Amino acid sequence: MSQPIIVSASPHVHSDRTSKKLMYDVVIALIPAFLVSLYVFGIGALIVTAAAVISCLVFEYLIQKYLLKSEITVGDGSALITGILLAFNLPSGIPIWMIVVGSLVAIGIGKLSFGGLGFNIFNPALVGRVFLLISFPVQMTTWPTAVENQTALADAVTGATPLGVIKEGLMFGETMSEIGSRIPSAIDMLLGITGGSIGEMSAIALLIGGIYLIIRKVITWHIPITMLVTMAVMTGIFWLVDGEHYASPVIHILSGGALLGAFFMATDLVTSPMTKKGMIIFAIGIGVITVIIRLFGAYPEGVSFAILIMNAFVPLINTYFKPRRFGSKIKVKIV
Amino acid sequence: MLKTFPKGGIHPPENKITSSIGIKRMTVPKVVNVPIAQHIGIPAEIVVDRKDKVEIGQIIAKSGGFVSSNIHSPVAGTVTKIDQIIDTSGYKKQCIVIRTDAKNEANFEEVTYPLLKEIKLEPKEIIQRISDFGIVGLGGATFPSQVKLNVKEGTKLDCLIINGVECEPYLTADHRLMLEKAEEIVVGIKILMKALHLKKAVIGIENNKKDAISIFKNIIKKEDGIQVAALQVKYPQGGEKQLVKAILGREVPKNGLPLDVGVIVHNVGTIFAIYEAIQHTKPLTERVVTVTGKHLETPSNFWVKIGTPIKDLIAEVGGLPEGTRKLVNGGPMMGKAIKNTDVPVTKGTSGILVISEDEASRGKSENCIRCGECVSVCPMGLEPHLLMNLSEKGMYEKASNEDIMTCIECGSCSYVCPSNRPLLDYIRFGKNIVKKLQTSKN
């Protein structure tokens, strides 16, 4: 025996799951949505995504190397995901310098200031996104019309998101049936022929990615399904009571960041609860807050805010919603 | 639907390489090192001296107290010394070293006992015999069996569970024993049912051992009160509390025993040892050991005399292969890594696992990404990430409040952690300190 015998405590085997594999599974799951965005927005989507990814990776490297002088973890895939998710929450055509600023906030403030991967309380990509939304509201809500070489889609891609159109219409006293003609059909929203941020275009692409994540056991159904059901139930009640002033649950689920948020942002492992019970509470919270913002808030869309608000509750949820300890509730009948 | 425990559990690769290999008798070792602390509890007291001649089955160390066990000589030979020898714990422990008498034929006789079904002993005598003959739990815990069987008057008890789960990957000792000695095991079960005045016994077997399940199903057709439960393949199905829950749906209370829910659990190996002790007056001096590993020449199951040095077992399967980096006494999930191959086989040794380079090292521990996987696999409903954190920070009282002491150390959390965090290492560390704090308080 050339090499010494290793003595370590059990277990002596390990599953082949690694953090890196989980991260790259998320990246793979985002590919369908990215392809749709390329199709709809053309090169613009590529530029935004590339800018966000590169600046996230570079900032992580620079901050870890020169500011924190800590171990460099650029390769673990988490900064890559933050970059992609940030880009997916931006409109195509946003100035590149804003993307760089957003990435710096996402990585620097959202993640590394808390201690790096695993210690951040808020979803870094959303921290970056919301920072940009509040700082540059005009650019962040200027949705580009279709690219010139894809004239076939020119009619479909509107200048505002469906939720934006609805909010504006209702504010001016229109009813849903009057607004209805100006928002894309449910089929168009499923396919991605609508306006919005890069990654939230096609419901189908996001669903494919989400199902992939569930099959690969990176996430469980608890957060996305609970969140979407909560949204559907809540918007459904309003819609049934007054269909002229409230959009249908179908529109709410398929438009905006609902699916992107449900499958990719709310399920972020680091910033979501650890137990299934906790996940359900967390997801209900996100659903409720999202609907409240969408229906009664100043912004047409509220998924980002809802997730960030619920992120803040995660430590509390983890403290109060613990798994049931084995043997803590006993009722036994011995014959 | 196969029965199983409700929460947690993992599915590590089974790697039961030796499941179709019959149990062979190990060559009788030239020297045996018999430790006097092979069971949980008080070590036995040595009753032989240097140069004493001993016979097979002669008591060489007497039970040292209530929770203790007799130890019998596995060979006929001469006591050469009483020495300190490193055992599986890694510490030096007192051992009786016996040189086998090469001329004594008793050592090499292969005794085959006929199946004896009639149980002549009375309940009290059965328990006394089990105590005298050094029977301990052969599943690995090595708890002296008579202590489990000494049920206080008035205790409600209605079921005996036989643990034939063997959920540890690689190990096949119990599986082979069930295949080869099923009739004897059923008699053993009836002995215990008689001793405990029980009308019901259930044999729990994981569904990856369908051959064993069908053998038992055939035999018990003629028996009253004995059932076979096929269980879902899931680790740690063989954990005592998980097994009781799976079979009867009863949950053993926190810090409690199966007895609290009217159940006694025994391993199949123990049942067979009890059969031999009662029906053939044979003390516990040998057991089945699986010697296995992906790169071994001839991984096998052996009848091994207690005290046989592990190096003898390894020589028997073709020696250590090139690139061996780890030796484990037991299975890969809960076994103990050993360094020294002079370590003897004890009553608790169910297998020797040889692990090579590619699987021996642990991955680098990274930040916890809070994925919650450890929480969802924990069969005891604990939060391993939290317990590790609390132990690491020295917050033992908090860890105790978070039920750290109920951890069964199955290792599922460390197994699944995608960041390779040493969860169980820290939990064990925390448990040790909490235990010390608790005893110092009392």
Inter-chain residue contact B416 with A22, CB threshold 8 Å: no
Asked if A329 reaches chain B (Cβ–Cβ under 8 Å), the answer is yes
Count CA atoms within 13 Å of residue B68 on its CB side.
Answer: 15
Q: Is the pLDDT score of A156 beyond 60? A: no
Single residue among A115, A140, A165 that ends a domain in this structure: A140
A331 or A309, greater pLDDT: A309
- Asked if residue B350 lies in contact with residue B336, where contact means CB atoms within 8 angstroms, the answer is no
A299-323: average pLDDT: 93
Residue A12 has its nearest CB partner, among B355, B357, B419, at B355
What pLDDT band is residue A176 in, cutting at 50, 70 and 90? confident
Q: What is the pLDDT of residue A183?
A: 77
A259 & A289 share domain:
yes
Q: How many domains does chain A have?
A: 2
Mean pLDDT is lowest, of A16-30, A91-105, B98-112, B163-177, for B98-112
Does some domain include residue A38?
yes
Distance CA B72, CA B55 (A): 9
B98-104: average pLDDT: 90
B424-438: average pLDDT: 94
Which one, of A259, A263, A189, lies nearest residue A221 by Cα? A263
Q: Which of A14, A71, A267, A322 should be substituted to probe chain B, the one whose Cβ sees the most B Cβ atoms within 10 Å?
A: A14
CA of B11: which chain A residue's CA is closest? A15
A135 & A177 share domain:
no
A149-159: average pLDDT: 44
A97 & A121 share domain:
yes
Contacts of A273 (CB under 8 A, 6+ apart): A279, A281, A282, A314, A317, A318, A321, B372
A238 & A299 share domain:
yes
pTM: 0.90
What pLDDT band is residue B383 in, cutting at 50, 70 and 90? very high
Residue B251 has its nearest CB partner, among A5, A22, A326, at A326
Q: What is the pLDDT of residue A331?
A: 61
B407-411: average pLDDT: 95
Which one, of B4, B19, B139, B7, lies nearest residue B412 by Cα? B7
CA of B155: which chain A residue's CA is closest? A334
Q: What is the pLDDT of residue A87?
A: 95
B294-321: average pLDDT: 93
A74 & A165 share domain:
no
Q: Please give, rounded to a whole number of angstroms, the shortest distance from the CA of A116 to a CA of chain B.
A: 9
Q: What is the ipTM of this complex?
A: 0.87
CA of B15: which chain A residue's CA is closest? A13
Distance CA B50, CA B82 (A): 7
Inter-chain residue contact B326 with A12, CB threshold 8 Å: yes
Asked if A326 reaches chain B (Cβ–Cβ under 8 Å), the answer is yes
Q: What is the pLDDT of residue A157?
A: 44
Q: How many residues does chain A have?
A: 335
Inter-chain residue contact B355 with A325, CB threshold 8 Å: no
Question: How many interface pairs between A and B have CB atoms less than 8 angstroms apart?
Answer: 171
What pLDDT band is residue A159 in, cutting at 50, 70 and 90? low
Start-to-end CA span in chain B (Å): 46
Residue A334 has its nearest CB partner, among B90, B261, B326, at B261
Print the domain residue range for A282: 156-320
Q: What is the pLDDT of residue A147?
A: 46
Distance CA B352, CA B332 (A): 10
CA of B260: which chain A residue's CA is closest? A332
- Which residues on chain B are in Cβ contact (under 8 Å) with A116? 367
What pLDDT band is residue B398 in, cutting at 50, 70 and 90? very high
pLDDT 10s digits, B201-217: 999 999 999 999 999 99
Residues of B numbered 410-429 whose beta carbons fall under 8 angstroms of chain A's beta carbons: which are they?
411, 414-420, 422, 424-425, 428
Does some domain include residue A124?
yes
Inter-chain residue contact B415 with A14, CB threshold 8 Å: yes
Q: What is the pLDDT of residue B155?
A: 85
A176 & A299 share domain:
yes
What pLDDT band is residue A153 in, cutting at 50, 70 and 90? very low
A29 & A96 share domain:
yes
Q: What is the pLDDT of residue B362?
A: 86
Q: Is the pLDDT score of A161 beyond 90? A: no
Single residue among A140, A175, A208 that ends a domain in this structure: A140
- Which residues on chain B are in Cβ contact (under 8 Å) with A221? none
Residue A327 has its nearest CB partner, among B157, B251, B325, at B251
Does some domain include residue A326?
no
What pLDDT band is residue A145 in, cutting at 50, 70 and 90? low
What pLDDT band is residue A245 in, cutting at 50, 70 and 90? confident
Distance CA B36, CA B47 (A): 11
Question: Of all helices (H) and strands (E), which one includes residue A178?
Answer: helix A176-179
A49 & A166 share domain:
no
Which one, of B362, B419, B359, lies nearest residue A23 by Cα? B419
A196 & A223 share domain:
yes
What pLDDT band is residue B297 in, cutting at 50, 70 and 90? very high
pLDDT 10s digits, A17-30: 898 899 999 999 99
Mean pLDDT is lowest, of A195-204, B168-177, B292-301, B417-426, for A195-204
Q: Is the four-CA dihedral B5, B6, B8, B11 of positive or negative sign?
A: positive
Asked if B335 reaches chain A (Cβ–Cβ under 8 Å), the answer is yes
A180 & A217 share domain:
yes
Q: Is the pLDDT score of A180 beyond 80? A: no
Q: What is the pLDDT of residue B189?
A: 96
Q: Give the other-Cβ count within 10 Å of B350's Cβ.
A: 26
Q: Which of B255, B419, B421 should be substituted to probe chain A, the one whose Cβ sees the most A Cβ atoms within 10 Å?
A: B419
pLDDT 10s digits, B123-174: 999 999 999 999 999 988 899 999 988 888 888 899 999 999 999 999 999 9
Q: Please give, rounded to a whole number of angstroms, the shortest distance from the CA of A272 to a CA of chain B.
A: 8
Question: Rounded to 5 degrees, what angle do the CA atoms A271, A275, A280 make?
Answer: 80
A189 or B440, greater pLDDT: B440
Q: Please give, rounded to a whole number of angstroms, the shortest distance from the CA of B266 to a CA of chain A.
A: 19
Distance CA A116, CA B220 (A): 60
Question: Where are the alpha helices (H) located in A185-322, listed in sequence order?
Answer: 186-191, 203-215, 222-241, 249-254, 258-260, 276-296, 303-320
Q: What is the pLDDT of residue A332?
A: 58
- Which residues on chain A are in Cβ contact (under 8 Å) with B314? none
What pLDDT band is residue A154 in, cutting at 50, 70 and 90? very low
- Which residues on chain A are in Cβ contact (under 8 Å) with B406? 325-327
Asked if B41 reaches chain A (Cβ–Cβ under 8 Å), the answer is no
Residues of B numbered 371-400 whose beta carbons fall under 8 angstroms of chain A's beta carbons: which are they?
371-373, 375-376, 378-383, 385
Distance CA A174, CA A188 (A): 23
- Which residues on chain B are in Cβ contact (under 8 Å) with A328? 253-254, 381
Inter-chain residue contact B363 with A14, CB threshold 8 Å: yes
Does some domain include residue A332?
no
Residue A12 has its nearest CB partner, among B253, B337, B378, at B337
Q: Is the pLDDT score of B282 beyond 50? A: yes
A162 & A295 share domain:
yes
Q: Please give, rounded to a whole number of angstroms, the shortest distance from the CA of B374 to a CA of chain A.
A: 9
Domains delineated in chain B: 123-280 (3.40.50.11540), 373-441 (no CATH)
Mean pLDDT is lowest, of A174-178, A321-325, B69-73, for A174-178
The proportion of chain A whose per-residue pLDDT surpasses 70, expressed as a percent, equals 92
Does some domain include residue A82?
yes
Q: Is the pLDDT score of A52 beyond 50? A: yes
The proportion of chain B whose per-residue pLDDT surpasses 90, expressed as a percent, equals 79
What pLDDT band is residue B384 in, cutting at 50, 70 and 90? very high
Asked if B14 reaches chain A (Cβ–Cβ under 8 Å), the answer is no
A299 & A233 share domain:
yes
Q: Give the other-Cβ count within 10 Å of B183's Cβ.
A: 14
Q: What is the pLDDT of residue A158?
A: 45
